[in-house]
């Protein structure tokens, strides 16, 4: 202590805090002093201590930017966080919970499936007119979390886009034809059920595959969207041709309706999300925590509604056998897409991400479109049974893979 200035000289480098207890300094046990030049000390006026004579302790923060060592707090001293810190922690935890809602998506899809089977009226209100805006909302969520640069990069990979197209309209229809033949020759199922399995394999890719890719590999979501959009746009011509080749009956398609569906479900929502993200980034930042839970509920409705509406056909005497065949069909498609892309792009730096993306593209297709075509262009109601079952099986298997692959990445 300096008698001329009436100041305490506190050493800086060794410790960060000095406590005043019972009108005397309390130095932590682990703190150590060393002899340093006069310039290494900080003067603290004595007059400032008198204001805190009744306080439990006084904390003097040093001006040094570097802290050489940490020391233990005195056991008799308790630290209480400020109220605003508690509020911030609670807010952060709520936001984290909202953002992690996607992790329970497989469980929600399974729960909606069980609910649709046990109590169909819980989903029958979600009629087919809601399918387009519901799927469009999922695409909007992807667009909000993407940028136009992502899509520009996606078009720089034509080989991957072509591989996804081959998986959709070559590998998958071939598997559908094989399982359709097995349904008739091995299990003795009626021909309309086999036609329904083949019809499922002839339609374009599912928009849910884009969302599944977004959950596992967000950078490749634009690539998945390009693949699905291309297969959907050309399905106007490819689906009738494949149906004629596999089923043996010409399948008329509403060209104007399909183009309108593409605009509503894919192009318009994605564009709206991208524009909103570019023009109003703060608004998108505020929206993002709420998009995952809303997307989970949206997906649950898209899965449970077709099952509830077609519950009588699904629970028919052939329902279990058809379900097993649909499971085998989708499983084969997921596996084929994964390993074929692995052999084609084994030198790519993101080969695993590509394998997951092409597996989703090959294993998931627009079963809702197949269901609509079956109800509209085939007189036998049995044709609609495989598409209705496929909507559920495809979603359960796809989002189960999302959960598995997401955990492996962590």
Q: Average of pLDDT values for 86-105?
A: 56
Comparing 79-93, 252-266, 389-403, the range with the smallest average pLDDT is: 79-93
Residue ranges making up the domain that contains 204: 102-407
CA distance 207 to 361: 9
Domain-located, residue 83: no
Examine residue 62 and state whether it is found in any structural domain, yes or no. no
Q: What is the mean pLDDT of residues 32-58?
A: 47
The whole-number pLDDT of residue 324 equals 94
Residue 248 CB coordination number (10 Å): 10
**Per-residue pLDDT at 50 exceeds 80:** no
pLDDT (mean) for 346-355: 90
Question: Looking at residue 318, what is its pLDDT?
Answer: 82
For the chain, what is the total number of helices (H) and then of strands (E)?
Answer: 19, 4
pLDDT the model gives residue 377: 74
> Is position 8 within any domain?
no
- pLDDT for 120-129, tens place per residue? 999 999 887 7
Tell me what pLDDT residue 321 has: 92
Lowest-pLDDT range, 69-78, 199-208, 306-315?
Answer: 69-78
Average pLDDT over residues 203-231: 85
At residue 256, the 3 state secondary structure works out as helix
CA distances from 33 to 14, 29, 36, 68 (A): 7, 11, 9, 12
Q: Is pLDDT of 31 > 80?
A: no
Please state, in angstroms and rounded to a whole number, the distance separating the CA atoms of residues 305 and 299: 10
Which pLDDT score is estimated for 172?
A: 94
> Would the pLDDT of 19 be above 50?
no
Alpha-helical (H) ranges within 100-220 are: 105-118, 121-124, 131-144, 148-154, 158-166, 172-185, 191-202, 207-216
The residues near 359 (Cβ < 8 Å, ≥ 6 apart) are 334, 335, 337, 338, 341, 401
CB 48 within 8 A of CB 6: no
Per-residue pLDDT tens for 171-191? Answer: 999 999 999 999 999 999 999
Does 17 fall in a domain? no
- How far is it, in rounded angstroms, from Cα 326 to Cα 394? 9
* pLDDT for residue 375: 75
What integer pLDDT is reported at residue 296 of this predicted model? 85
CA 86 to CA 97: how far, in whole Å?
Answer: 17
* Model pLDDT, residue 256: 66
Residue 345 included in any domain: yes
**30 in a domain, yes or no?**
no
Please determine, for residue 82, whether its predicted confidence score (pLDDT) is greater than 70: no
CATH of the domain at 249: 1.20.1530.20
Let me know if residue 372 belongs to a domain.
yes
Tell me, yes or no, whether 275 lies in a domain: yes
The predicted pLDDT at position 73 comes to 46
End-to-end CA distance of the chain: 56
Indicate the pLDDT class of residue 97, thresholds 50, 70 and 90.
Answer: low
Q: How far apart are CA 372 and CA 390, in angstroms?
A: 13
pLDDT at 100: 65
**Domain tally, the chain:** 1
The residue among 111, 122, 104 whose CA lies nearest residue 295 is 104
Count of beta carbons in the 10 Å neighbourhood of residue 187: 14
pLDDT at 52: 45
Q: What is the mean pLDDT of the chain?
A: 76
| pLDDT > 70? residue 314 | yes
């Amino acid at each position: 202590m300096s008698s001329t200035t009436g100041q305490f000289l506190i050493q800086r480098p060794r410790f960060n805090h000095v406590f005043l207890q019972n009108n005397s300094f309390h130095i932590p046990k682990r703190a150590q002093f060393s002899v340093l030049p006069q310039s290494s000390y900080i003067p603290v006026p004595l007059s400032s201590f008198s204001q805190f004579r009744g306080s439990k302790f006084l904390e003097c923060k040093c001006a040094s930017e570097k802290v050489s060592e940490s020391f233990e707090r005195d056991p008799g001293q308790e630290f209480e966080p400020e109220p605003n810190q508690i509020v911030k922690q609670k807010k952060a935890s709520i936001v984290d919970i909202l953002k992690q809602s996607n992790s329970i998506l497989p469980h929600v899809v399974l729960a909606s499936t069980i609910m649709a089977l046990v109590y169909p009226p819980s989903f029958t209100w979600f009629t087919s007119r809601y399918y387009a805006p519901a799927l469009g909302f999922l695409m909007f969520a992807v667009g909000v979390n993407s940028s136009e640069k992502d899509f520009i990069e996606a078009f720089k990979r034509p080989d991957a886009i072509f591989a996804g197209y081959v998986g959709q309209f070559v590998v998958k229809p071939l598997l559908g034809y094989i399982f359709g033949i097995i349904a008739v020759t091995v299990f003795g199922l009626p021909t309309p059920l086999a036609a329904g399995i083949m019809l499922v394999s002839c339609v374009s890719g599912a928009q849910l595959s884009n969302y599944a890719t977004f959950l596992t590999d967000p950078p490749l979501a634009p690539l998945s969207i390009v693949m699905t959009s291309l297969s959907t746009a050309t399905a106007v011509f490819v689906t009738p041709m494949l149906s004629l080749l596999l089923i043996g009956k010409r399948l008329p398609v509403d060209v104007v309706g399909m183009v309108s569906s593409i605009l509503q479900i894919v192009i318009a929502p994605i564009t709206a999300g991208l524009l909103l993200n570019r023009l109003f980034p703060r608004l998108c930042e505020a929206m993002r925590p709420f998009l995952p839970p809303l997307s989970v509920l949206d997906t649950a409705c898209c899965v449970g509604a077709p099952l509830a509406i077609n519950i009588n056909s699904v629970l028919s005497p052939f329902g279990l056998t058809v379900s097993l065949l649909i499971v085998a069909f989708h499983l084969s498609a997921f596996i084929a897409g994964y390993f074929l892309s692995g052999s084609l792009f084994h030198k790519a730096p993101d080969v695993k991400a590509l394998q997951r993306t092409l597996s989703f593209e090959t294993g998931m297709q627009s079963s809702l479109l197949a269901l609509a075509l079956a109800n509209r262009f085939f007189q036998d109601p049995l044709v609609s049974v495989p598409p209705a079952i496929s909507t559920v099986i495809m979603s359960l298997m796809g989002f189960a893979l999302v959960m598995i692959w997401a955990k492996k990445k962590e």
